[in-house]
C-alpha cells in the first residue's frame, strides 16, 4: 500500500553525493549567482541613475532584470546552502515557496517579453505615434499586468500542485520542480494538471503569437529602411530580444513537456539550468553587448560614483 503519511520535508537529489563534486557544484553555483546578481543590479542601477534611459524600452528592461534576479534567487541560494551544510532537505513550506516564486517570475517574465516586443513594434513600425502610444501610463499598466498575470497563474499552479498527496519525499532535482513533484505523487494529478497546463499553454501561445506578429512587422519595416546605419540600429535592439525569447521558451517547454525520469538525469539537470539559471546570467550580457546607450550609462555611472566613493574613503575622520 502507498504511504499516505503527510510529507513534512523533501530531499533534493539533483547532484552527486560525493563531497568533492558537491564542492565543485557549490563553487560553480556561487559564481553564477554572484555574476547574475551583479549584472542585473548594474542594469537596474544604470537605468535608474541615467535620465537618458528613462524610456519605455529600458523601463521594461529594468523590470526584466528584476525578474531574472528573482527567478535565480528562488532556487540557487537553497542549493548552495544545502551543499555547504551537507544536507539535501527542504521543508514542505520551503518547497511551496520555491514553486510559487519560480512560476511567478517565469510567467511574469513571459508576459513582459510580450510587452517588450510590442514596444519595439510601435517604435519601429509607428515611430511618429510612439510617444503617444507608449506613454508612461501605458508602460506602467503593461508592466503591472505582467506581474499580476504571473501572480495569478503562480497561485493557481502552486495550489494545484500541492493538493496532491505524495508517496515519497525524494525529488530528483536540485530544487522543487513541478514535473518531479508530480512524479512522486500518489493521487492521479492528470485532469487538474492537464487543465492548468492547457491554460498555461494558451497563455504562452497567445504571447508567442503576439511576439511573432510584432517581429514579422518589425523585420518588414526594417528591410524598407534605406540607410544601412538605420537597419543596424533597429536590428541591434531587436535581435537580442529574439535571442532571449528563444532561449527562454525552448528550454522551459523542453523541461516541462518532456517525460520525467525515475532517477536523477543529466539531461533533466541541464534543461532545468537552461531555463532557470542561464537566462538571468545571459540576458544582461545579450542586452548590453550591442547597446551603446546602456554601455555609456554604465561608464558614466562608474566615472561619477567611483570618485565620490574614493573621496569619502580618503576623507579624514572628524575629531570627537
| 5-63 residue pLDDT tens | 577 888 888 676 677 777 888 888 899 999 999 989 988 988 888 888 888 888 998 99
Percent share of the chain, pLDDT over 70: 77
Is 78 or 233 the better-scoring residue by pLDDT?
A: 78
The whole-angstrom separation of Cα 236 and Cα 233 is 5
Q: Which residue has the cell 487543465?
A: 195
Yes or no: say if 149 and 107 are a contact pair by the CB < 8 Å rule: yes
Rg from Cα positions in the chain:
22
pLDDT tens readout for residues 301-316: 777 765 665 555 555 5
Dist CA 70 CA 72 (whole Å) = 6
**Residue owning grid cell 551544510:** 85
pTM above 0.85, yes or no: no
Q: Averaged over 289-296, what is the pLDDT?
A: 74
Checking if the pLDDT of 1 tops 50, the result is no
Distance of CA 110 to the CA centre of its chain: 9
Confidence at 255, pLDDT banded by 50, 70, 90: low
Q: What gap in Å lies between CA 175 and CA 255, rounded to an integer?
A: 13
Q: What are phi and psi of 280, to 5 degrees?
A: -60, -25
Domain with residues 9-297, CATH architecture? Up-down Bundle (1.20)
Alpha helices in 50-135 (DSSP H): 56-73, 76-84, 92-125, 130-133
Amino acid at each position: 500500500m502507498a504511504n499516505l503519511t503527510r510529507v513534512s520535508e523533501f530531499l533534493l537529489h539533483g547532484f552527486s553525493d560525493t563531497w568533492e563534486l558537491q564542492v565543485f557544484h557549490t563553487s560553480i553555483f556561487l559564481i553564477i549567482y554572484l555574476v547574475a546578481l551583479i549584472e542585473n543590479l548594474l542594469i537596474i542601477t544604470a537605468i535608474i541613475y541615467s535620465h537618458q534611459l528613462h524610456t519605455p524600452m529600458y523601463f521594461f528592461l529594468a523590470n526584466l532584470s528584476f525578474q531574472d534576479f528573482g527567478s535565480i534567487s528562488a532556487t540557487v541560494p537553497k542549493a548552495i546552502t544545502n551543499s555547504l551544510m551537507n544536507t539535501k532537505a527542504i521543508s514542505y513550506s520551503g518547497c511551496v515557496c520555491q514553486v510559487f516564486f519560480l512560476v511567478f517570475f517565469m510567467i511574469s517574465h513571459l508576459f513582459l517579453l510580450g510587452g517588450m516586443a510590442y514596444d519595439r513594434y510601435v517604435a519601429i513600425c509607428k515611430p511618429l505615434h510612439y510617444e503617444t502610444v507608449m506613454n508612461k501610463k501605458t508602460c506602467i499598466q503593461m508592466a503591472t499586468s505582467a506581474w499580476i498575470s504571473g501572480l495569478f497563474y503562480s497561485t493557481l499552479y502552486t495550489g494545484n500542485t500541492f493538493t496532491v498527496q505524495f508517496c515519497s519525499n525524494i525529488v530528483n532535482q536540485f530544487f522543487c520542480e513541478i514535473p518531479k513533484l508530480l512524479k512522486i505523487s500518489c493521487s492521479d494529478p492528470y485532469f487538474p494538471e492537464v487543465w492548468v497546463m492547457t491554460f498555461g499553454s494558451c497563455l504562452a501561445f497567445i504571447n508567442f503569437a503576439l511576439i511573432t506578429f510584432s517581429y514579422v512587422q518589425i523585420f518588414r519595416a526594417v528591410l524598407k529602411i534605406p540607410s544601412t546605419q538605420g537597419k543596424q540600429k533597429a536590428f541591434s535592439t531587436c535581435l537580442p530580444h529574439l535571442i532571449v525569447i528563444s532561449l527562454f521558451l525552448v528550454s522551459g517547454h523542453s523541461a516541462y513537456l518532456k517525460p520525467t525520469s525515475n532517477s536523477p538525469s543529466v539531461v533533466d539537470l541541464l534543461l532545468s539550468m537552461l531555463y532557470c539559471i542561464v537566462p538571468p546570467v545571459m540576458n544582461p550580457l545579450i542586452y548590453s553587448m550591442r547597446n551603446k546607450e546602456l554601455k555609456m550609462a554604465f561608464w558614466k555611472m562608474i566615472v561619477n560614483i567611483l570618485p565620490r566613493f574614493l573621496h569619502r574613503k580618503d576623507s579624514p575622520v572628524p575629531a570627537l
